[in-house]
């Protein structure tokens, strides 16, 4: 209350004083205009000096005319918006910052909300790693036993914390295992419903992995399945793969191989920079042609093996020997060097891959745009036909569920 009273007095004084004095008065409350520019406001929040642009503050006004509370969306009309807007009066109390603008509009901001949106690299990093997406941790074969977490099917269905833990491990390490899954072709559905909904592809909403003669996809052969990502020929490639093992083969074959391409890419960047550059720069055409349930498809998508964003961070891995098209959409001089880089990438993935064999009742979940996965050849017998039920979920839905659970479990102020 004291701070509010002070603020009111400052405002009434400010009306009668020239601009310079106004700044000084506001300064006494730890709020001031930056001298070098009239466009930025300094605010002390819990001992930290933070800067906020006026235009950003005005556009993110949280009042009912500017922000729709139930839609949690900005509703401010840009046809009347002035990007040169200036604060006329500024005040602060223990929990909020109040601004009256030169157009007469009044805004109030929660200080925790402001701090979380601070423009310092530290505040932005904190927001990115706690709210946007958990930071990935890379691994190779020797680390696999440590990072490969086990989760219980029933706990995931019944506890927000168990669901959060599974999805968090999956997002950080790119792989996690669910155990004690009921022996049913629909058991995987309940897990997906806890996240949101499955991603449909031209192979359907769910798919059965079983040896099939005359297949339209090489995954349905029982021979050695070389390391790959699924469906690289989709521009909107499935984010995560869930594979529920209903029947595992009794023969020595059928083991899974998993490799963290973020580790392999870092390794290549350091030890084989030219090959790394070829795999990040050269567009490849990924392809799938066939027919499934009467639906013909002819998918093509062009992207490098290692896709980077503007910060040089990996966004997606594309790799599949069978589903790399014969069209090479680049200059002929790149072809042989690219094949060399491709061969190196494949052999490094083999070198750093983890090997294990899922059991019946286990769901292997992994990041399909980060890991390569493969399977050794196996043989079915009359009484032992290997069978998996597979489904995909997009990272959009997984990250969304993680954020909702985080808000629920940690109940932090100022996130929205």
Please report, as residue ranges, which positions from 110 to 139 form the binding site for a second copy (by CB under 8 A).
116-117, 119, 124, 127-128, 131-132
Coil/strand/helix, residue 312: coil
Task: For 232, list phi and psi in degrees, rounded to 5.
Answer: -65, -15
CA distance 138 to 370: 10
Q: What dihedral angle (degrees, nearest 10) is formed by the CA atoms of 364, 368, 370, 373?
A: 60
Asked if 1 touches a second copy (CB under 8 A), the answer is: no
Complex with a second copy: residue 179 or 355, whichever CB lies closer: 355
Ranges of beta strands (E only) in 93-165 are 96-101, 106-110, 149-152
Complex with a second copy: residue 95 or 298, whichever CB lies closer: 298
266's CB contacts (< 8 A; 6+ apart) are: 138
Q: Report in angstroms how near the CB of residue 260 gets to a second copy at its nearest.
A: 20
| Binding-residue pattern over the window 137 to 176 for a second copy, x denoting contact by CB under 8 A | ----------------------------------------
Asked if 59 touches a second copy (CB under 8 A), the answer is: yes
Asked if 236 touches a second copy (CB under 8 A), the answer is: yes
Complex with a second copy: residue 139 or 166, whichever CB lies closer: 166
Buried b (16+ CB within 10 A) or exposed e, 303-334: bbbbbeeeeeebebbbbbeebbbeebeeeeee
Quickly list H helices, 128-224.
144-147, 153-158, 160-173, 187-195
Question: Residue 304 in contact with residue 282, Cβ under 8 Å?
Answer: yes
Q: Report in angstroms how near the CB of residue 131 gets to a second copy at its nearest.
A: 7
Asked if 324 touches a second copy (CB under 8 A), the answer is: yes
Nearest of 23, 46, 48 to residue 34 by alpha carbon: 23
Q: Report in angstroms how near the CB of residue 13 gets to a second copy at its nearest.
A: 28
Asked if 407 touches a second copy (CB under 8 A), the answer is: yes
Complex with a second copy: residue 4 or 328, whichever CB lies closer: 328
Footprint of a second copy on 261-300 (CB under 8 A): 281, 283, 285, 288-290, 295-300
Q: Looking at 218, 247, 269, 376, which residue binds a second copy (CB under 8 A)? A: 218
């Amino acid at each position: 209350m004291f701070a509010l009273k002070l603020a009111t007095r400052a405002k009434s004084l400010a009306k009668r004083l020239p601009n310079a004095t106004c700044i000084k008065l506001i300064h006494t409350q730890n709020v001031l205009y930056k001298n070098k520019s009239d466009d930025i406001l300094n605010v002390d929040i819990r001992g930290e000096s933070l800067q906020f642009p006026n235009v950003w503050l005005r556009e993110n006004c949280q009042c009912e005319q500017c922000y729709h509370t139930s839609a949690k969306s900005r509703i401010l009309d840009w046809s009347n918006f002035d990007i040169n807007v200036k604060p006329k009066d500024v005040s602060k109390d223990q929990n909020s910052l109040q601004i009256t603008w030169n157009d007469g509009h009044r805004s109030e901001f929660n200080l925790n909300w402001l701090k979380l949106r601070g423009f310092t690299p530290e505040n932005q990093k904190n927001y990115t790693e706690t709210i946007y997406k958990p930071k990935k941790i890379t691994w190779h074969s020797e680390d696999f036993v440590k990072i490969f977490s086990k989760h219980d099917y029933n706990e995931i269905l019944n506890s927000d914390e168990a669901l959060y833990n599974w999805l968090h491990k999956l997002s950080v390490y790119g792989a996690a295992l669910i155990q004690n899954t009921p022996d049913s072709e629909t058991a995987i559905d309940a897990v997906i419903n806890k996240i949101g909904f499955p991603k449909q592809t031209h192979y359907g909403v769910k798919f059965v992995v079983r040896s099939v003669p005359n297949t339209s996809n090489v995954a349905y052969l029982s021979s050695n399945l070389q390391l790959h990502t699924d469906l690289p020929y989709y521009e909107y490639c499935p984010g995560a793969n869930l594979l529920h093992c209903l029947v595992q083969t009794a023969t020595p074959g059928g083991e899974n191989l998993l490799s963290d391409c973020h580790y392999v890419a870092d390794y290549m960047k350091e030890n084989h920079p030219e090959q790394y550059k070829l795999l990040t720069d050269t567009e490849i055409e990924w392809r799938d042609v066939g027919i499934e349930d009467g639906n013909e498809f002819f998918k093509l998508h062009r992207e490098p093996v290692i896709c980077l964003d503007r910060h040089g961070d990996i966004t997606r891995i594309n790799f599949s020997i069978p589903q790399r098209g014969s069209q090479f959409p680049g200059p002929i001089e790149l072809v042989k060097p690219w094949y060399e880089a491709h061969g190196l990438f494949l052999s490094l993935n083999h070198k750093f891959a983890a090997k294990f064999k899922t059991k019946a009742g286990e769901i292997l979940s992994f990041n399909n745009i980060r890991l390569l996965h493969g399977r050794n050849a196996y043989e079915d017998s009359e009484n032992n036909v290997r069978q998996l039920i597979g489904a995909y979920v997009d990272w959009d839905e997984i990250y969304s569920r993680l954020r909702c659970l985080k808000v629920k479990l940690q109940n932090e102020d100022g996130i929205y």
